[in-house]
A and B are shown apart, each in its own frame.
Chain A
C-alpha cells in the first residue's frame, strides 16, 4: 500500500500546493478566503473541514479555476490552476457539493459527453465496475432519479477517468449507509493506487475513518492542518475513575493540566489537556475499582476550533 509518495530526496510530493491563495467577492470588505498556504501530498486522503460559509467551496472552486483568486497561486500536480488550468484539470476528478446534472440526459449520455473532453480514453471496464459497485442507474434521465441516485452518477463521473487527484465536496450526500461504505472503500482503493483525495465533508466519522490529515478552515482562515491522531492527542481527554476508598479531589485539581469536573466520595471525573502521565501516576497511588477513558473524536477536534471557550486547550 502506498501511503504518501515521496521524491528521491524523501520529501513528500505535493498534489495540491496553494500559496497565499485568497478570494474577496466584489465590494465585500471581508475575504471569503484569507491568504492561504496549503500542501496536500500525493497519495494521501486529505479532509477539508469547516462549517457552511467557512470558505471550503470557494477554495475548491479556485483550485478548479471556476473562481479566479484575488491573490496567490495554486498548483495541481505541477500545473498552475489558472495559467495551465486545462492541463491541471486533466488530472482532476470532481464532485461538487450541490451536484446538478443535465435533467434530460441519462448518466451514460453525460458520461459520453464528459469522456469526449478527456485526453485519454476512459476504460469502459472501470466504468462498469464503478456502476456495479455503486449500483447506479445510468440509463434513466437524471430528472427521474432521486438525489442519492444522482449523487452516485456524480461519483461515477468523477472517478471514471482514474484521475490523479479527486476533489470531492460532500461525496456521500444523500447516499444510504451501504453505498456510503462502498464510496469509502472506493476512496481507499484510490489511495492504494497512489492517487490523492481532497475530501470536503461534514460527516466527521467518515473523515476520521479514512483521512490521513485534515485541514480546518474557519471564516476563511485555514486554522489547522495536521494528522488526525496528532490533533486528537492535543485535545482534552476525559477520565472517570472509581476508587475503593475516599479520595480528596483537590489533589487532582492541583495538577497543572487536570481539572476535576465532577466528584463524589469515591468517584472523580477528570478532564486532562496534554500529557496524561502525571494524572495516571497519581491515580496509581490509590486502589482503583474502575477506570473509563474517553478518546476525543474528530467532532471534539472540530468543535474545539469553533468554540472559543475550548480554544485554550488546543
Chain B
C-alpha cells in the first residue's frame, strides 16, 4: 500500500516537480531543436573559443557530435539550476515543516520518527527522480522531432547520474537545515558551496594547484558530462553514494534526537559546546 506520509511528501512537492521538470525539459527541447541548424558549425565555433575559456567549461569535451554539444549546452548548467530545487526541497521537508508548525501534527501520532524520516526521505528521492524523468520524456520527444542521431546509453546515463547528485545536494541541504535550524542559513551556505565549487572546479582545469583539491568540489561528483563525452569515474559515483548514505544516517540521527519546535536543539553551537566541554 502507498504510504500516506510518502504520498503527502510527494504531493507537497508536486508544483516544484512539474515546474522544474517541465521547465528544464523545455530548455533541453530548445537545445535539441536548434542543434540541426548549428551542428555543422558548432564544433568550429567552439574551436575558436580561447583555450582557457574552453578549459573552464570542461575542456576536453568532444564537440563534433550531439553528445558533446549536449554536455556543453545542457549538462553543464543543468546541475547548477536543479541544485536550487534540491536545496529548497531538502531544507523544506523537515525544518521547513517544523517552522510552519505542521510537523507536530504527524509526530504526535503513533508512528516512529524513524518511519516518518524514511518516508520523507523516500519522497525526496522520488521527487528528484520525477524531475529527471519528466526532463527525459520531454528530451526524448525533442530528439524524435529533431531527428537527431543519439547514443541512447550515454544520454540515459547522463540523465540518471543527475539523480544521485541532486539527491546528495537535497540531503546535504536537509543536514544543514537541521544543524542550523534555519532554511535561510542552510540555503545560503548550500548556494555558496555549490557556486564556489562550480567555479573552482572550472578553474582547476587551468590552475594546477587547484586541481589537487578536485575531490572536494561537489560539482566534480556529477559524472553526467563524462557519461556523454568520455568515461564515467566509478570512484566518484561510489564516493557520492557513500556520502549520500552517510548524510542520510546523520540526518536520521539528528531528526530522531531533535526537540521539535525548539530552534537549535541539536545544532552546531550545541554540538560545539558538547565537544569543547570534554
Contact = CB atoms under 8 A, between A and B. Distances in A.
B264 A117 contact: no
B110 A119 contact: yes
A65 to B, nearest CB: 8
Contacts of A85: 112
Interface stretch (A86-94, A129-137, A270-278): A86-94
A118 B108 CA distance: 11
B261 interface: yes
B1 to A, nearest CB: 9
A68 B107 contact: no
Given A67-B260, A90-B110, A118-B110, A26 B105 contact: no
A40 interface: no
Contacts of A113: 4-5, 8, 106
Interface stretch (A96-104, A185-193, A208-216, A238-246): A96-104
Contacts of A104: 12
Most buried by A among B105, B111, B260: B105
Contacts of A65: 107
Contacts, number: 77
Contact of B109 (A26, A87, A117): A117
B100 A68 contact: no
Contacts of B265: 25-26, 67-68
A27 interface: yes
B4 A94 contact: no
Given A66-B259, A113-B8, A116-B4, A96 B110 contact: no
Contacts of A68: 257, 259, 265
B101 A98 contact: yes
A100 B261 CA distance: 12
Contacts of A168: none
Interface of A: 25-27, 61, 64-68, 85-87, 89-90, 92, 94, 96, 98-102, 104, 110, 112-114, 116-119, 157
Interface of B: 4-5, 8, 12, 100-102, 104-112, 257, 259-262, 264-265, 267, 269-270, 273
17 contacts: A25-B262, A25-B265, A26-B264, A26-B269, A26-B273, A27-B269, A67-B259, A86-B110, A86-B112, A89-B110, A99-B101, A101-B102, A113-B5, A116-B4, A117-B4, A117-B110, A157-B105
